[in-house]
Every structure is written in structure tokens, then in C-alpha cells.
Chains A and B, each alone.
Chain A
Amino acid sequence: MDYVKAFLIGGLICAVVQIFMDRTKLMPGRIMVGLVCLGAILGFAGVYQPFIDWAGCGASVPLAGFGNTLYQGVKEAVDSDGLLGLFRGGFEASAAGISGALLFGYAASLIFDPKMKN
């Protein structure tokens, strides 16, 4: 059942974004920024975390999940550290993902060479 939910919800989010992309012709970078901000807003609204608890990776793997992670990190840090938490929480919660992308990305640039476009 986990897998069915992940497939259907994850697929559905991607399908909706596809419609949005076809209609607006927005660049991929803008779409990603939009999704992360949307995820943070939905996290703030208290919607996204329950959504992840229900849909699992169908909700957490799309980039909106990253935005939600950022907001949840800030919220937890504010609860424990007050105002200083605003400056700590986002990076604390997203550290693994960001470091991973940068480190693996850098390693890949050492190993692989740019491919010619066909």
C-alpha cells in the first residue's frame, strides 16, 4: 500500500507540474524555486507534514518536501532556541541533502567529462 500511495501521489504531483509547465513555459529552475517555496508555505500552514505522514515518499521526494523540511527545521529550532533558531533551523534540517548534492556533484565533476550533445 505504501508503494501504491507513493507512486500515485508522487506521479500526481509531477503530472500537475507538467500541466503547469506546458501552460506557462516556465524554466525548470523557476519551477524548482516555486516548489520549494510552496512546500515551505504548506508546511507553515500545517498541511504538508500530515501529507507526508500519509503519502510517504510520494510527498517527501518531490521538491516541495524539501521546502517543508526547511520550514519544519526552522520551526523546531525556534521552539528550542527562540529567535536564533530562525537562522539555524533551515540549514540544520537540510544539511544532509545540500551537502550530499554538493559533495556527490563535485566528485562527479572529477570523474566525468562533459558529453557532446547529439
Chain B
Amino acid sequence: MKGVSYVVWMFVVLGGVIGLLVILAAMSGFFTPIAIASAEQTAEVMAVQVSSIINEMIGAPVDTAVNMTLPATECNITVKRTVVYVEVPDASYESSILISGVPVTVGGIIRCDPDAERIVVFKRTGSGINIIG
């Protein structure tokens, strides 16, 4: 009986030490790379998705429209002359768009809503591609 109580104490002490180590690791940023990798992938996926829609819309017939749902998170999407630039907390990503005679018109920076999903509409017009959202 006395031996069993030693083992229980050993479990308690070891469990406490391991728990403390995990807490210290979390506080020291040991798990931060996971969060950053996730943010990088979010930015990459969104940038590639937006640039792909724009590239596909260049040759699309007039009045073609595509909806894209932005996730409920913090993000800024900037469409420049040669790239789509997506910024999320802790990460950003650039994805190239085709340079063509079809201009892309967007009313400033597209922002995600952290509380709800948002829909952005890409519309091919006679003069170019309009992004509304």
C-alpha cells in the first residue's frame, strides 16, 4: 500500500512537471510557427484564388460574373497592376496576375469582415474587370 502511494505521487509530480513544460512552451512561442503557418496558408489560398479568378476573367465573355466568399477573418486584399496582395494577421502573400489590355477596376482595398463571411463579385464588362465588394 505504501509503495502504491509512492507511484501516485510520482504520477502527480511528473504530470505537474509536464504540464508546466507545456505551459512554458506555449508562453515562449513554441507553438507560434503553427499559427503563422496557418496564417500564411490562409493568405496564400486567398491570393491565389483572387488572382486565378482575375486571370480567368480576362478571356471571359462580357457580363460573366463570379462570386467569391471571403472568410470571417481579418484580411486586406489589394489588387495592383501586376499582383494581388493579401494581408492577414501575421502573414501576407503576393500572387501574380496577367498583364493584358483588360484593366482591373476595384474601389480601394477589399476588407474581410472578422464577424461574418462576405461576398465579393467579379464582373467582366466591355471595358475590363470590375470587382465589387
Do A and B truly interact? no
